[in-house]
Amino acid sequence: MAIVSLNKVTLCGLIADKSLVLDKLQSLGATHLIPLAGKVSKSDNVPAHNIEDALTALKYLQQCPKKRHQVTQPEGFEFKTVVQEVVLLKNTLLDLLDQHEFLQQRIKEVSLWGDFSFAEDGQLQGYKLWFYIVPKRLMKVVRQVDMIWQMVNQTNTDAYVVVIAKDEPASKAMPVPRTHVGSLSLSQLRKDLDDTELAIEDAYAKREYLTRWMSLIMLNLAAYENQSALDGAHLLTRDEPDVFVVQSWVAVEDIPRIEKFSNEHRLALLIEDPDGVEQPPTLLKNTTTFAGGEEVVKFYQTPNYYSWDPSIVVFFSFALFFAMILSDAGYAALFMSILAFKWQRMGRTTQGMRFRMLLFFTLVTSAIWGIMVGSYFGFAPAPEQLAAKLHVLDMNDFDAMMRISIFVGVVHIALANLVHAYQLKHKTRRFAALGWAFFVVGGFVYWLAQSSESNILEQTAYGLLSVAAFCLLLFSGERKIQKPLDIVLRLFDGIKNLTSITKIFGDVLSYMRLFALGLASASLAITFNQLAEQVYHAVPGMGLLFSILILLIGHTLNIMLGIMSGVVHGLRLNFIEFYNWSVSDEGYPFKAFSKKEGY
């Protein structure tokens, strides 16, 4: 649950040993290479081969409906050639399908004019054909024009008119703009369509033929990817006539392995701490239980190396936000049954294990919240049931639910500022971050005091707001006070920082969406239940079938909306409102130079 501390490691060896050293360094798998050749940026991965093409080609062959018998012997198999052939075929087939669709549409348009060919230059003594699709109600205008024209076709609504003239008729001469029919005749378009359909058939047949290489592609994919990374590493070193230098970021805990590696290969070794100016990559380290939050964090934005790891906060807060938006224990139980069915399959990969723990905790939290609000697929428990005694929150009590939503927002934003203050522990601005934490808490307490008319709450609120104002006015900048003018300038910095009051106020109010979306989800579930019940009583016999369909379709729709709202807004409150006050600078991920295992 932290950002791993890194050291910058520089290795220097004989140029003759470069290939061997890089190969062994890749096997070690503990380094993030730093480019020294001056040709690439810090985040580039410079592969000699494009591994994405190989993955695309494999997926494209796997999606083929018919597959050939798999070739298992490597004779005659050239990985890169096959991959390039598959990628080229995919792009060609997409172009052919687009062309086929275009020709079909073109034939549909041109066929209304008939099958004709344009005259060659000089055959009509300078006259040309101009085409118009005229609504029949406007044909009286055409009949009045002083031009040579002929109606060649008509439909129920339109007339297809061809005008013969040397120059295009003026825009006001005809009641509609000119229609472009193209230079190809209908017979030529149909021939092109036939040729395209034959080419598409050949492309599909070739795709089916190439499926025989899928097994060999999978078997060689890891080696291809490893070689790609190794070739890229050769471009990142600094090479001199006799020696080479490779530089990388290494976790502090892996330094003993690097020292042992340098001794074994007789390399010069230099270990340095980050200087605070250069930007090392970010390597997050979390336990398996809470690593799902790390996956979500990396999906949105990798925090800066000098920042902090918000994974555990995102883990718990996302679970709470999703639960408050879903607001139904029945839906949560349904999702948990699906998760139980997928549990073992998700455990086959590290990423799957991480996400399933996040899903498990989120659904448990959703079930608890759903029990507290007393909603089970939109039904409320009977008063004599145990579930009714656990029903402690009323979704229809707007004031109470609004206070809870705002309280969650206050805690979230205050926590963000407290963490930010800790990050600035050696700077004066840490007190300004504390000031914002005091401000949101004080504002919330003052709001509660207005409804309860409690003097203690009101005095507490005034105290918190006073401390917040003091911190924000005097500690919003790093300006040193050496003369009286510096005090005035420091106050000016504080006043300028106070303009963020509207921003933090809006951020806190954003958490009201938790109550609004939760109420909407619960209301929709109740509405579908009531509608199904009304149909059941109104239509004897078939009413049961209709009510079941209403329940299935209605709750399915509500579940989909709940998932969408829970994920989108659950992440939004973390990555916009929370990040706004705690995680500002973006970093880039630590990419280990390592060998991939076989697929």
Give residue-wise pLDDT tens across range 455-478. Answer: 898 899 999 999 999 999 988 887
As a whole number, mean pLDDT of residues 340-350 equals 90
Higher pLDDT, 583 or 28: 28
pLDDT digits (tens, 9 = 90+) for 482-537: 777 777 888 888 888 888 899 999 999 999 999 999 999 999 999 999 999 999 88
Assess whether pLDDT exceeds 60 at residue 153.
Answer: yes
Which of 222-231, 289-298, 544-553 is modeled with the greatest confidence?
Answer: 544-553
Question: What pTM was estimated for this model as a whole?
Answer: 0.76
Pick the residue with more confidence: 530 or 1? 530
Q: Once rounded to an integer, what is the mean pLDDT over residues 172-184?
A: 86
pLDDT of residue 38: 54
Across the range 409-427, mean pLDDT stands at 92
Q: Which pLDDT score, from 0 to 100, does residue 46 have? A: 46
Average pLDDT on 9-21 reads 94
Q: Note the helical H segments in 484-597.
A: 484-497, 501-509, 512-538, 543-572, 579-582
Indicate whether 426 pLDDT > 90.
no
Mean pLDDT confidence for 150-157: 90
Residue 44 — pLDDT band, cuts 50, 70, 90?
Answer: very low
Other CB atoms within 10 A of residue 496 CB = 11
Q: How much is the average pLDDT of 244-266?
A: 94
Quote the distance between the C-alpha of residue 269 and its chain's center. 41
Of the listed ranges 100-104, 365-369, 481-485, the least confidently predicted one is 481-485
**Average pLDDT for 62-84:** 90
Looking up tokens 């060998």, which residue turns up? Answer: 595
Backbone angles phi, psi at 2, to 5 degrees: -155, 165
**pLDDT of 39 above 50:** no
pLDDT cut 70: percent of the chain above it: 97
pLDDT at residue number 40: 45
Give alpha helix (H) positions in 111-213.
139-143, 186-210
What's the pLDDT score for residue 387? 87
pLDDT at 376: 94
Question: Do the Cβ atoms of 523 and 514 come closer than 8 Å?
Answer: no
Which of the 8 DSSP states describes residue 380? P
- Range 63-88 average pLDDT: 90
Q: Which pLDDT score, from 0 to 100, does residue 598 have?
A: 55
Give the separation between CA 10 and CA 33, rounded to whole angstroms: 10
23 class by beta-carbon count within 10 Å (0-12 exposed, 13-18 middle, 19+ buried): middle
Q: How confident is the model at residue 567 (pLDDT cuts 50, 70, 90)?
A: very high
Instruction: Give the per-residue pLDDT at 561.
Output: 94
User: What average pLDDT does the structure give for the chain?
Assistant: 89
249 Rama sector, left if φ>0, alpha if ψ -120 to 50, beta otherwise: beta
- pLDDT the model gives residue 169: 87
pLDDT at 45 over 50: no
